Chains A and B, each alone.
Chain A
Amino acid sequence: MNLSRSSSSDLILDVDHVWKIYCRNLKRAMWYGLKDVGREIIGGGRDRSHHDLRSGEFFAISDASFQVRRGECLAMIGPNGAGKSTMLKMINGLIKPDSGSIKITGKIGALIELGTGFNPILSGRENIYINAAVLGIRKREVDGLMEKIVEFAELGHVINDPIKTYSSGMRVRLGFSIAANLRPELLLMDEVLAVGDVGFRMKCFTHLNELVKQGVSIVLVTHAVGMLQRVATRSVVFGQGKIVHDGDLETGCTIYEEMLGASDRVRAKKKEESGRIGEIGSVEVCNEGMEPQAEFETGETVRLRIQINAREKIKDARLIVSLCSPVHGVLSSVSSPYQGIYFDVDPPGRVITLKIPEIPFLIGAYHFNISLFGREKVDFYHRSSLRGVFRIVGPPTNADGYGINGITKLQHSWEING
């Protein structure tokens, strides 16, 4: 699963078979906490075997291993409660693993939450000194960086005013600016990419990219997958405490998007009733040659094979198909009547195929929502969502302004005038 072992001096972070146990029941958690404190004090190291869970406990992290090398920017992604922040806390040394080990070479700088420790009554300048001291920087060093920090945060005009007069965006900018200008060897960030306005965000990305170029390693946790391509070079995807992917960013994002879809799918299934006259049966995504296929490149032909089941004859049926992305919602919706198509379905049913030549969408996960109607608006038979999941896996997009990016590939041409 891990990258091959290159020179070990490049290894900044080594997470080795780490397990972490949590308890959701408050009363129990406190009691266990007390017992754990006692055990720590008498020196009973808690390398707990993987199956000795106490009542009410569960694995927040199970058997996670990954490594980060110098100058690498790793994104930890996954649904809520998958264990990303827990892992980040362990890397930061805030909590201990229950089994396994985490080895860090060099200095850690954490941005777990921006501006933690700000005092609203004191001025921005005073708070810079305090925040830097919390992060382990002494006054002398801060003095040297002060101009840079203030300038980066674009707060020169208010830096001597009390922080409580700042807007929330200004506070976040100041927090980011402090932490990012201090240059640790390993930078940890938890959900801090969505900082400030677009302009400042771009500045942050540029800055982080520079840090990476200078050999700083970054581990970041975020749900804003769309922004990751600007900084991250690799992804580790967490699902229910386990690492389900460790590798390139695109695949990681796609898997994450699918996981989001999957949880919706389970919910949708429960709702499904039986005993309809007509319903959407099996749905398959196929290639040009009608062979089932899950991965495509932008511009290829996608065929959606829809099996319609009927108990009774349906006259003048029509289909509405929406192509969706878990992140962006409905991207496009088409109906068969748009091209004058109505069709009859005799029991037990028939197959209808929707052909999408030259699919314009870029890298990501997609799926279809399909509805079956009769001729009139009220003739509803069945709606089925999250069907025919497929991925666009290439060609690569580019967020730095040298290629194409976004959701779809726009037909376009350039003209140089004047």
Chain B
Amino acid sequence: METEFEKSKPSGKGEQPIAVARRTPETSRDVSSDGTEASGQGSPSVTTYSAQSSIQNPSQLIRDIFVDFWLGRELAWRLFLRNIRGLYRQTLLGLFWAFLPPIANTAIWIFLRQANVFSMGDTQVDGTVYILTGMILWQAFIDAFQMPLAMFNKNRNLISKLNFPRESLLLVGVGEVLFDLLIRLLLLISAFLIFEVPVHASVLYAPIAILGLVLIGASLGLLLMPIGSLYQDVGRFISMVLPFWMIITPIIYVPLTTFPGSLLNWVNPASPLLLLARDWLLIGTTDHLAIGLTFAAAAIPISLIALVVYRVSIPVLIERMTA
């Protein structure tokens, strides 16, 4: 499986040290505009750092991003394992912490509903399962949304001192979001069994919508990361806004179909894919196919833009961390 990707090319000068750095001989960050990249066989890679913005060579930039994703995969895996192990080695309740937020949230809303504080509308399935599903999906979205800034802040030391494929941090972050989501889905499975919810074939499509939801959340969070890392106001604002955001997302009620309430489904990036995923998981049919898939498709270019922003902003952010 492993290739000779990272071996340095011998330059014919006796015994060469084993290559360690991650750059392939073919790629170099910020290849300078005057074409100084090493050419010819057997010559080692040349990296040039200059004031040039790497965005001036977009195809190279995109290629570098994907190369770094590839090169960073092992690091990402190591860091992922490290975090998961580290996380659960020092807790008493372990995995239970992953279950807790959606259970607690669901319990509160079920209690309020039974006290007739609000009405959910016709959910077509048991209300508890409906809310729990919504909560789990919302939690995944919001975890993904908050992940880039959290990841950056948690790894400030590493980022400011070592040059490694920073994309690996995003892999770790998304990995952790999905890991937590999977654990919570176990919770959902038990809920299915307890409340005897019928399973539809559409469950098989649900991962598309769920991944789209995570992707769009992570991309939006990534776009906010540069400002958020400079100004803590952003983080504070987000934590203040979250409860309201949750309320305008149709988690504890069926989506509004009449104008102007229906508008919320279009302007709230969390709504369409959450609705689609929940319909596919619980009901089997959906009214949100078009809008959901539109958002899923939009998530791809948005994520690319976000990755570019992430990559070009990191050197500037490091500078401001140390200056």
> What residues make up the interface of A, taking CB atoms closer than 8 Å to B?
9, 22-24, 29-30, 32-34, 36-37, 39-48, 60, 70, 89-110, 112-113, 116-117, 119, 121-122, 126, 129-130, 133-141, 182-185, 211, 214-216
Q: Measured between alpha carbons, how far is A140 from B163 in the docked complex, in Å?
A: 21
A119 pairs with B86, CB closer than 8 A: yes
B309 pairs with A101, CB closer than 8 A: no
Q: Mark B283-323, 1 if CB is under 8 A from A, else 0.
A: 00000000000000000000000001100110111111011
A215/B51 contact (C-beta < 8 A), A113-B161, A134-B164, A136-B22 known: no
A136 pairs with B71, CB closer than 8 A: yes
A109 pairs with B320, CB closer than 8 A: no
A99/B47 contact (C-beta < 8 A), A112-B162, A182-B20 known: no
Question: Which of A40, A121, A138, A211 interacts with B316 by CB under 8 Å?
Answer: A40
Q: Measured between alpha carbons, how far is A129 from B77 in the docked complex, in Å?
A: 11
Counting chain B residues whose Cβ lies within 8 A of the other chain, the interface size class is: 35 or more
Q: Which 6 pairs, one residue from A and one from B, show the smallest C-beta to C-beta distance?
A: A136-B22, A107-B21, A183-B17, A33-B320, A101-B50, A182-B20
Question: Which of A70, A104, A122, A185 interacts with B85 by CB under 8 Å?
Answer: A122
A97 pairs with B162, CB closer than 8 A: no
Question: Which of B44, B48, B78, B312 interacts with A40 by CB under 8 Å?
Answer: B312
A108/B163 contact (C-beta < 8 A), A40-B55, A215-B14 known: yes
B52 within 8 A of A: yes
Using a Cβ cutoff of 8 Å, how many contacts connect chains A and B?
208
A105 pairs with B17, CB closer than 8 A: no
B48 pairs with A37, CB closer than 8 A: no
A133 pairs with B230, CB closer than 8 A: no
B19 within 8 A of A: yes
Q: Measured between alpha carbons, how far is A76 from B17 in the docked complex, in Å?
A: 24
A103 pairs with B16, CB closer than 8 A: no
B79 within 8 A of A: yes
A104 pairs with B47, CB closer than 8 A: yes
Complex contacts, A47 vs chain B, CB 8 Å: 50-52
Of residues B21, B38, B85, which shows the largest number of chain A Cβ atoms within 10 Å of its Cβ? B21
Instruction: Tell me which of B5-13, B106-114, B177-185 binds A.
Output: B5-13
B157 pairs with A102, CB closer than 8 A: no
A108/B21 contact (C-beta < 8 A), A40-B313, A94-B163, A95-B318 known: yes
Minimal beta-carbon separation of A237 from chain B (angstroms): 22
B158 within 8 A of A: yes
B122 within 8 A of A: no
Question: Which of A9, A48, A89, A140 interacts with B43 by CB under 8 Å?
Answer: A9
Complex contacts, B18 vs chain A, CB 8 Å: 141, 182-183
B231 within 8 A of A: yes
Complex contacts, A133 vs chain B, CB 8 Å: 74-75, 78-79
Known pairs A104-B46, A113-B157; list 6 more (Cβ under 8 Å): A45-B56, A101-B48, A107-B20, A129-B78, A141-B18, A185-B8
B323 pairs with A185, CB closer than 8 A: no
Q: Measured between alpha carbons, how far is A418 from B22 in the docked complex, in Å?
A: 59
Q: Measured between alpha carbons, how far is A101 from B48 in the docked complex, in Å?
A: 7
What are 27 A-B pairs at a CB distance below 8 A?
A22-B319, A40-B53, A42-B55, A45-B52, A93-B47, A93-B163, A94-B160, A95-B315, A95-B322, A96-B50, A96-B315, A99-B51, A101-B50, A104-B47, A105-B38, A106-B8, A107-B23, A109-B21, A116-B161, A122-B82, A126-B82, A136-B164, A137-B20, A183-B20, A184-B17, A214-B15, A215-B13
B317 pairs with A37, CB closer than 8 A: yes
Q: Measured between alpha carbons, how far is A117 from B162 in the docked complex, in Å?
A: 9
Q: Measured between alpha carbons, how far is A33 from B227 in the docked complex, in Å?
A: 9
B202 within 8 A of A: no
A184/B20 contact (C-beta < 8 A), A37-B317, A44-B53 known: yes
